[in-house]
Structure 1
Amino acid sequence: MHLSGTKTRTWPRRPLALLAAALFALALALTGCSAGGDDGGSKSAADADSKGAAKSDLGAGGGSSGSADQQAKKPPKLTGVHVIRTAHLSVRVKDVPDALDKARTAAEDAGGMVGDETTDRDGHGHERSRVTLRVPQESYEDVLDQLAGSGRLLERNVTAKDVTDQVVDVESRIKSQRASVARVRELMDRAEKLSDVVTLEGELGTRQSELEALLAQQDSLKDRTSLATITLRLTETPSNVTTADDDPGILDALSGGWNAFVTALKWIGIALAAVLPFATLLGVLVYLFIRFVRRNSSPAGD
């Protein structure tokens, strides 16, 4: 009876101990999982932060190249119309040196300059000059009118060529080429092998030469679009040619009449000189014939 009672008292305690052990083990397991999850989350956050930092470092290292590429892709702004203006004038003047000095003064007063100049004489001894003038676009028409009105205008040829598209294209190519040169320089800074450095130096030289050629083309376009070119040809007026600006007067009429009279006498003298030998011979023959006839017609006694 005592033993049976003892068993009855100890039997209910074993399930409670087992249940407590099971709950304790479950709590430990849940705690470990939570800790593992927290570590994984921290590790993921750390990885994300490191990747973000790496991207930031990479962006900082290649910032200049990226910005250069963006600038190269942006179309250049169109600031206005770019036109190359040229003109060829041929003017006949009384005094070539004086007209040439006035042409130089007109160009310099307009803010331009005098280019090539050539002076010589033609086969008749008349002086002639050829000069190239460069004047600003805003003064181009005024200078052109002054030169055309300096004498008798013989020829006027004016051309205007729109090169706006060409100017914009060259500017865009220069930006792209500068970005390309910058990328090669960055690669050279990062290169570690001697062979890579040599290759990149050759590539850099090629791209730099292309950039310099584009810059020279840009300077040429800028010069031709900012200054117009006028080629002036001056010829001396012959003394026997009356220009439209010279109105004939009384002295001119008297001079012309006297010249006509002298010319007429000259031709009459030439005609008489040509006829005189034949007239003299004819007169002698007529005289001999008349004497012969008179002698034969007189009486025999006489």
Structure 2
Amino acid sequence: MTTMGAGMDGQVVRRHGTLLAATALAAALVLTGCGAGDSGSRDTTDAAAPANGGADKDGLLGAPEAAGAGAPQEGKAGAPQEGKAAAPDLRVDQRAIIYTGSMRVQVDDVDAAAREVTALVTRAGGFIGGDQRRSAQADAVAELQLRVPAAKFTSVVDEIAKLGRQQSREISTEDATEAIVDLDARIISQRARVESARQLLSRATSINDLVSLENELGRREADLASLEAKKRRLADLTALSTITVSLAGPAAKITSEKAETGFLAGLTGGWKAFVASLTVLLTVLGALLPWLVAFGVPVAVLLLVLRRRKKTSVPTAPVSAPPPVPAARSAP
């Protein structure tokens, strides 16, 4: 009995040992799985972190893209974070606009006003492109062509209008942004074509190829120079605006640019043309009359005297009798 009880106690101990071993193995497997899951999560987070902005070694997301995504972009035109009211103004500031203006101002002293306009343009950083004047007492007229920076176009026009009584003003604008962008693209493409032609020319082996490639390179360089000249012209027009200013004296008349049509307008125009033609004809006759009197009268008297002398010097020829008619003979 004692031996049987000892055997049963040994079996119970072995069963408990097996159960404990199985429990320990299961716990080890669970801990291993959790560790692998944590490691995978950390690996996944580390792999995704650079794509989301790039975490540094300290774990701070300090990438400029991530910081700028939530901050307002005040220096960029048309940023998604900006309000819709500010976007058009920013876009206009970035466009290339050509300003052209013409105005007529009546002043008391044309020469003094022209000097003030010249000083005003010089202070604004511009220059006088043309100066035409008609000197007179009260109806003097001066026409100045001004080139001023585009940023000061409006202020210069307003200052000129204050010099006297403004009679007319006309301002026009032209958007050259698309033309400049197109020229930039064409210039880049043409430069690439010129460079390729130069490379082919450096590898030419025959005289025919050399001459042909030189001609082609010359044409491409000429096209490139033409495109660059057009771009410089547009850049000059956008950088410096043109203002045509007419300064008129107190008695200068305003020329009406409104065209009239209709029967009465045609009749008035025809009568004015007739009067103008008659005036020109009378002016020509008045200019020729002294010459006609000085040379025409003596020539007429001389011709008359010569004609009379010719009549008196030519003798009258006697009238001769007709020859006798022979009598007809009778037949035998």
TM-score (norm 2): 0.47
**Structure 1 residue 119 and structure 2 residue 119: aligned?**
no
* Runs of 4+ residues over 6 Å off in structure 1: none
What is the aligned partner in structure 1 of residue 158 from structure 2?
A: 145
SS at structure 2 position matched to 1:91: strand
1:80 to partner: Cα distance = 2.5
1:192 counterpart SS class: coil
Match of 2:241 among 228, 234, 237: 228
SS at match of 1:141: helix
What CA RMSD, in Å, does the superposition of the two structures yield over aligned residues? 1.8
Give identity over the alignment, percent.
34
Counting helix residues as a fraction of each chain, which structure ranks higher? 1
CA distance in 2, matches of 1:146, 1:165: 32
Paired with 2:144 and 2:215, the residues of 1 have a C-alpha distance of: 46
Which residue matches 1:130? 143
- Measure the CA separation in 2 of the matches of 1:147 and 1:135: 13
CA distance in 2, matches of 1:149, 1:86: 19
- 1:204 aligns with 217
Contact 2:138 2:251 in 1 (8 A): no
Alignment counterpart, residue 84 of structure 1, candidates 98, 103, 113: 98
Counterparts in 2 of 1:24-35, with a 5 A limit? Answer: none
Within 5 Å, give how 1:4-43 maps onto structure 2: none
Q: Which runs of 5+ in 1 are unaligned?
A: 1-77, 240-302
Give the gaps of 5 or more residues in structure 2: 1-90, 253-332
- SS of 1:115 mapped into structure 2: strand
For 1:212, give the aligned amino acid: A
Letter in 2 for 1:119: R
Aligned partner letter, 1:181: V
Show the counterpart of 1:170. Answer: 183
Q: Distance in 2 between matches of 1:120 and 1:226?
A: 31
- Residues 176-200 of structure 1: per-residue CA shift (max 9 Å, x gap): 1010000000001111111101000
Q: Does 1:158 align with 2:174?
A: no
1:248-278 Cα distance to aligned partner (Å, 9 max, x none): xxxxxxxxxxxxxxxxxxxxxxxxxxxxxxx
Distance 1:152 1:125, change over 3 A: closer
1:99 to 94, 102, 113: 113
Provide Cα deviations, 1:96-134, integer angstroms capped at 9, x if missing partner: 001000100111100011111000147x86211000011
Which residue number in structure 2 is paired with residue 48 of structure 1? Answer: none
Task: Give the TM-score normalised by the residue count of structure 1.
Answer: 0.51
Structure 2 contact 138–249 (Cα < 8 Å) conserved: no
1:223-263 Cα deviation digits (max 9, x unpaired): 00001110000000139xxxxxxxxxxxxxxxxxxxxxxxx
